[in-house]
Structure 1
Amino acid sequence: MLPIDLVNAISTNFSIYIGLSILIAGLIGNCLNILVFLSLKTFRENSCAFYLTAMSFLNIGQLLTSLLPRIMNLWFAIDWSLLSIVYCKIRIYLFQLCALSSFTCTSLATIDQFLATCSHPRWHKFNNIKIAYRSFIFLILIWMCHGIPLLVYQDHFLALSTGEITCAITNNFYQNYVTYGFNLTLVSSLPLSVTTIFGLLAYRNVTQIAYRTVPLVRRELDKQLTVMVLLQVFCNFFIIVPYIIVTAIFVTVTYSKDSYRYAQLQLARSITITDFYLYFTMPFYIYISISERFRKQFLHVFFGIYSAHRRRRRRMTINPFSPSN
């Protein structure tokens, strides 16, 4: 049996070094996703691709507002939320907003692909970019209003047991809602259920799409996006389910903070929370590994931009006195 101090050290180091790797990979991957989705007209005019683009922006926000402060706190013992009451409130508000909006985008992308691959044409009218814009704005406004209580109840709080000031929710009723309503439902069980159900329905539809009179370009795009979204849903299942299980155990089972069981549970919680951030990191790596078409699109965009940049530099070198306008 490992000493409690060693278990705690493993928990901390795992959160720091694996978390840092996830942060760097996530920032790079989401930026590359945005680059591809915004560079190609095929994606700019597609509602599912719009949701995936918005999700990439939100994933960056989530990593910067949640994972980065977590790493800084564990590594350097710097808790920025204790330095400013405004930051204490705004960070957790942005964390909730980005997390809920990102999961909403994944759910909407899955539903969108179900609608896009339906055999009944009447469902296709809901599969357009204008509805995607409106749905996204509407749901963002809902989540912005949803987080308002955080701005009220998130505050500096003196913990009587330790005598230390922490940035925490000061209302017990709202804390229970955050634990069970937010952590165990809105950012875990609910989006997992929605994406799994509509993902399976979209898969059933896409297996039959070859037998329908659908334009070839649209058929291939629908297949590509459906496969990308489905594999993301599959990977999310194995990321979110352990988080749900360990979080449920953590909030229902009581151990002494000095006990070995508590140290083990903290280790399991650190692992599942850190792995939970893979949801915000993996999309680009899933798409590029599963879709040959996406790989070609990425190479076309990446090297096309690089080649254009080199050509501009060459022209400037040849004629450095040419007018800029």
Structure 2
Amino acid sequence: MSNTNISSSFLATIEIVTIQMTYYGPIILLTVGIFGCLCNFLTFTSRQLRENSCAFYFLCSAIFEFLSITFGLSTRLAADHFDYDLQNSNRIFCKFRAYYVSSIPLIATYFILLSAIDRYMSSSTDVYLRSFSKIKVAYRNMMLVQIGLSSILSLTRMIYYTYYIHGPLFTGDHKVIGSFLMSLTTLLYYTNYVKSFYIYTLTSQLFRSIFIQRIHSCIQKRFESNTSIIMIV
């Protein structure tokens, strides 16, 4: 009897944690992620980095990270807590969302990979390898990733969805624990696309200094604009 009570209490706690996690988790990730993406946009669109192929890859990655977290997390939050069941009632939207949340994050990931390869080539002693570290090559690689790799590699996520939909249904205790693990892994999945500004940009002395310069420039322009308005009035 005591084991049953302990089990029921544990499962009730897991359910409460799952509800709180699926509500506050996406909100926190959206706030932190959108702020980080906007900061990356501000950094990698600076004049100093316009001919920097590595910065171009980071900018492309930030764009796809922004698309990933804004659509993926917002639709997940709406479905879990605001009775927005379009993905359950509309087959076309369901398939579109499944493909979108699989392919778009992969594109962001492989732009990060391309930036790492670009840094290796730019620092290589081989002249031939260094020739690949150019903005023109970056444009071609961007198209390759978007059209080729992202379509192929998204199959891994599709296989997972197929198993989840057609696999054996969870019941009872397994359903509660399975729901918790699904929610946790989903948040961890999106956390990977929230961290780039805080891990890659701020840890680089060059990118960090450019970001600070852009912030100072924006504040100065805003201050000068307000000052001119006051003088006119």
Distance 1:255 1:3, change over 3 A: farther
Give structure 2 stretches of 5+ with no counterpart.
1-6
Distance 1:5 1:102, change over 3 A: same
Is 1:109 matched with 2:115? Answer: yes
Counterparts of 1:134-173 in structure 2, within 5 Å, are: 134-142=140-148, 146=151
Give structure 1 stretches of 5+ with no counterpart.
148-176, 186-246, 321-325
Match of 1:315 among 218, 221, 228: 228
Residue equivalent to 1:275: 188
Give 1:15 deviation, angstroms: 2.2
Residue equivalent to 1:221: none
* Cα distance in 2, alignment partners of residues 294 and 103 from structure 1: 19
Give 1:97 deviation, angstroms: 3.2
Instruction: Single out whichever of 288-297 and 268-277 deviates more from structure 2.
Output: 288-297
Match of 2:26 among 19, 24, 34: 19
Counterparts of 1:124-273 in structure 2, within 5 Å, are: 124-142=130-148, 146=151, 181-183=155-157, 257-273=170-186
Residue equivalent to 2:4: none
Residue equivalent to 1:4: 11
* Cα distance in 2, alignment partners of residues 256 and 53 from structure 1: 42
State the TM-score, normalized to the length of structure 1: 0.61
Give 1:13 deviation, angstroms: 1.9
Distance 1:86 1:75, change over 3 A: same
Opposite residue 213 of structure 2, the aligned amino acid is H
Is 1:286 matched with 2:167? Answer: no
* Cα distance in 2, alignment partners of residues 184 and 123 from structure 1: 35
Question: Secondary structure of the equivalent of 1:266?
Answer: helix
Counterparts of 1:64-75 in structure 2, within 5 Å, are: 64-75=70-81
Give 1:57 deviation, angstroms: 0.6
* Cα distance in 1, alignment partners of residues 83 and 13 from structure 2: 18
Instruction: Single out whichever of 6-15 and 50-59 deviates more from structure 2.
Output: 6-15
* Cα distance in 1, alignment partners of residues 93 and 219 from structure 2: 39
Residue equivalent to 1:122: 128
Once superposed, what is the RMSD of the aligned Cα atoms? 2.9
Q: More relative contact order in 1 or in 2 (CA 8 Å, sep 6+)?
A: 2
Give 1:306 deviation, angstroms: 1.4
Give 1:104 deviation, angstroms: 1.6
Contact residue 99 and residue 158 of structure 2 kept, 8 A: no
* Cα distance in 1, alignment partners of residues 93 and 124 from structure 2: 46
* Cα distance in 2, alignment partners of residues 21 and 47 from structure 1: 31
* Cα distance in 2, alignment partners of residues 261 and 255 from structure 1: 11
Over 6 Å off, 4+ runs: none
Match of 2:103 among 97, 107, 111: 97
* Cα distance in 2, alignment partners of residues 45 and 296 from structure 1: 17
Opposite residue 27 of structure 2, the aligned amino acid is L
* Cα distance in 1, alignment partners of residues 174 and 103 from structure 2: 34
Question: Secondary structure of the equivalent of 2:125?
Answer: coil
Residue equivalent to 1:37: 44
Match of 2:67 among 61, 70, 81: 61
Instruction: Single out whichever of 54-63 and 16-25 deviates more from structure 2.
Output: 16-25
Distance 1:87 1:257, change over 3 A: closer
Give 1:138 deviation, angstroms: 2.8
Residue equivalent to 1:241: none
